[in-house]
Amino acid sequence: MNINSMDDGDAAALAASSAATATKSIRAISASPRSINIESNKDFCRISMETKRIIEARDRLVIDAFDALELHHALLAKMLVLRLGERMKAARWMCSHQKPFDGRTAYDLISDGDVETVWDAVERASRQD
């Protein structure tokens, strides 16, 4: 049957049939996880390995960035560690998009020369505790 020559009833029947077939396929896969083909499993293995690599690279970058903060803005870095309780939390906070910074990171502000706004946010947060 040519799709262009279908009337609304034929198109609806085809859509319903396709939906039913898709639903059966999804149920079969869900019921039997071993039915997933090996190529799909290899794809997920590659995805998993790449995700781990990216997370490790990000963690290294977070630490390296905080090392630079400690070197150039030591007092701010110390205040963040005291405020957040541990160095890694402080390092991650610096890399996180913050609402008070209009969705930017503290490093974005510092790179623009606006360390005062970062200090203000840290002091406000300290007063709220």
Segments making up each domain of the chain, as ranges? 8-128
Contact between residue 69 and residue 108 where contact means Cβ atoms under 8 Å apart: no
Give residue for tokens 């034929």: 10
- Tokens representing residue 45 in the block: 């293995």
Q: What is residue 64's predicted lDDT score, i.e. its pLDDT?
A: 96
Q: What is residue 36's predicted lDDT score, i.e. its pLDDT?
A: 53
Q: How far is CA 83 from CA 12, 29, 47, 70, 87, in A?
A: 61, 48, 36, 15, 10
pTM, two decimals, is 0.64
Q: Show pLDDT as tens, one digit a residue, over the chain (129 residues).
A: 444 454 545 544 555 555 555 555 555 555 555 555 667 788 889 899 999 999 999 999 999 999 999 999 999 999 999 999 999 999 999 999 999 899 999 999 999 999 999 999 988 877 765
